[in-house]
Amino acid sequence: MLRTIFLDDEPQSIALLKHLAANHCPELDIIGAYTDSVEGLAAIRQDKPNLVFLDIEMPKLNGFEILNQCHPLTFKVIFTTAYNQYAVRAFKYSALDYLLKPISEEDLIAAVKKAVQAPVLPDLQQYDVLQQFNPLRQTPPQKMVISTLEGLIFIEINDVVHCDSDGSYTRIWLLSGESVLVSKSLKEVEEMLNFDFFYRAHHSHLINLHHIKKFVRADGDVLMSNGKTVPVARSKRQEFLELVMR
């Protein structure tokens, strides 16, 4: 059982979380639910939960200010947010999870499953990840963080050459020639790499346009800077050519 606290300034969000958790998440032991950020912070410090569902935009203290005051962190965090797509993408770079409002039953169940299975991150490491990818910052992140069973892998976004679908997993190919297999679909990775220079050239391939060395018109393939060849779908070729010729 995960000792769990809900902290969200919207009473309807708290009510929905309580309802969904009571009906679908027996792994959670709800020890508190708060709409006041200061009261919620005090409860986190006193009751020492294993898991906190945390809103970002709140009066008095926002979610990241609360986490700053809980340093070093000793609990897992699932964000609940109505934030824009940039912020959602920022959350995905970290080893933490998020729920986009309005929260669905399926999303909550999946997030709780991750929380149950994932080990607690080392305190300083988790704190640094939160700071690096704080969506309230003005500059976009330069790294993506991948969680594995062994720990965290920090990948420079500019070093990502292309990503290939491998069933329910994705293999991320790097400039060095190395690759990392992650337990995310290509669609999820594409959302993480939602920058103008990444292009879905094929239903199974995402490429970094900065790393294209050659396009072979006869085959419809692109040679990437790591020496790998990636196909461009026939239906995408005209769009691809127009994009790279701009």
pLDDT of 70: 81
Structure tokens at 208: 């970094």
Query: pLDDT tens, 104-144?
Result: 999 899 889 988 887 655 444 444 444 444 444 444 457 77
pLDDT of 90: 45
pLDDT above 90 (res 162): yes
pLDDT of 30: 97
pLDDT above 50 (res 4): yes
Query: pLDDT tens, 12-68?
Result: 999 999 999 999 999 999 999 999 999 999 999 999 999 999 988 888 888 877 887
pLDDT of 215: 93
Q: What is the mean pLDDT of the chain?
A: 83
pLDDT of 141: 53
Query: pLDDT tens, 178-217?
Result: 999 988 889 888 888 878 889 999 999 999 999 999 999 8
Task: Pick the more confident residue, 94 or 209.
Answer: 209
Helices (H), 75-206: 85-93, 105-117, 123-132, 186-192
Phi, psi angle pair for 36, to nearest 5°: -105, 120
pLDDT of 8: 96
Please report the domains of the chain, with CATH numbers, ordered by start residue: 2-132 (3.40.50.2300), 156-244 (2.40.50.1020)
Task: Pick the more confident residue, 181 or 83.
Answer: 181
Helices (H), the chain: 11-24, 37-47, 63-69, 85-93, 105-117, 123-132, 186-192, 237-244
**Which residues have C-beta within 8 Å of that of residue 111, sequence separation ≥ 6?**
78, 97, 98, 99
Give the count of beta carbons closer than 10 Å to the beta carbon of residue 26: 10
pLDDT of 126: 46
